[in-house]
A = this chain, B = another copy of it.
């Protein structure tokens, strides 16, 4: 898989053809108990079905069979970076997503405002999804501490989410989370994995100590959990690997962050799908690769709201003609992973995928859903191969060997 990046670098050529990759976050689903149909099978999506009928379809494995990916690995796979090899810390993702200007020596972490009971036990890891406005006020109170020469920068993201960045010399990312990732436990101390990360652990624990004091009166946001301590990674980018001028359109911060890590240009867009489509249209002449991220599918799945996920899919379907009317040479529609509403969380399940283009060899699949895609011409394939396929279909790859 390391070879894949080298191979793309060797074979890719700059051309004028355009690729649109639409990522419907958490796309894949599971059957409803009553109807026996998945979200995609339930939704009225004539445009997606018609696109599938003219595409080559299949099912993609985000990482490996049985592996449930987070958003980072899910997207890196779609971008052609083996997620087992390229790992990004959660803190970095969160920081990049709010346009935080991370320095190479910084260690970023993801903070969750949480609710603690009077024994200090976590009762809600998201503090009732406290309003962003309140998180902002709290972030201001926590921001700017100086601990042993390390400056601690705290910024609110959305709802209960914060970014906590430690800026100073000699900080290592090799420390454990304070977030135990479940309720019923106390926040954990941050532990150094080795000698070199002891300073980081000590500074983090001192910061958390001071923080717990400041937050004590802020019920339900009376605690802070940190996870995903990480340095910004240095990956070869889309320009270098694929010779693509890539544009990312995503209304949610984390996906903008992921796009930045692989060297895409992140353009400003609004919160709705209509905004994103408008952004795609107004930038369509300026780039030759577009990553369009739709968050609402995943959010509905995470909330276990089958009907809302169906509605989001139908919404997207109504906008789809506005994308196809731009006449991209190649379109890929897929998800970064499944988020079945009946599971209410990211799943390990394969994800429906279609690749549309003049030379795509359409199969017999005429509906875009989990069952129909089993019979697709792409078969099952690792998500990592979707970028090579998109590049090939856009005639952006030279022949390998004579």
List residues of chain A with CB under 8 Å of any chain B CB: 3-4, 7, 11, 30-31, 38, 59, 63-73, 83-84, 87-88, 90, 93-94, 110, 228, 340, 342-343, 345-350, 359, 361-364, 370-371, 374-381, 385, 387-393, 397-402
Contacts and interface: CB of A to CB of B under 8 A. Distances in A.
B66 A397 contact: yes
Give the most central of A63, A68, A370: most B CB within 10 Å.
A68
Contacts of A71: 401-402
17 contacts: A7-B84, A11-B67, A64-B385, A66-B385, A66-B391, A66-B392, A66-B393, A68-B399, A69-B399, A71-B401, A72-B402, A73-B401, A87-B401, A343-B359, A346-B399, A348-B392, A380-B381
Contacts of A347: 359, 392
A301 B277 CA distance: 39
Contacts of A361: 30-31, 38, 340, 349, 370
- Which of A65, A87, A402 is packed against the most chain B CB atoms within 10 Å? A402
A68 B400 contact: yes
Nearest to A68: B399
B402 A228 contact: yes
Given A7-B84, A66-B397, 19 more contacts: A11-B67, A38-B361, A59-B377, A66-B393, A67-B388, A68-B392, A68-B397, A68-B398, A70-B399, A94-B402, A228-B402, A340-B359, A342-B359, A364-B374, A370-B377, A374-B376, A375-B375, A379-B379, A380-B380
A64 to B, nearest CB: 7
A43 B11 CA distance: 34
A3 B399 CA distance: 26
Contacts of A110: 402
Contacts of A340: 359, 361
Contacts of A370: 361, 377
A72 B401 CA distance: 6
Contact of A385 (B65, B228, B379): B65
Most chain B beta-carbon neighbours within 10 Å: one of A38, A65, A72, A93: A65
A7 B83 CA distance: 12
In the A-B complex, the 3 residue pairs with the closest CB atoms:
A66-B388, A379-B380, A70-B401
A379 B374 contact: yes
A400 B63 contact: yes
Contact of A64 (B4, B84, B378): B4
A30 B363 CA distance: 10
A345 B395 CA distance: 11
A2 to B, nearest CB: 11
A344 B393 CA distance: 14
A59 B379 contact: yes
B67 A392 contact: yes
B67 A397 contact: yes
A283 to B, nearest CB: 25
A401 to B, nearest CB: 4
Q: Which of A3, A72, A374, A389 has the most CB of B within 10 A?
A: A374
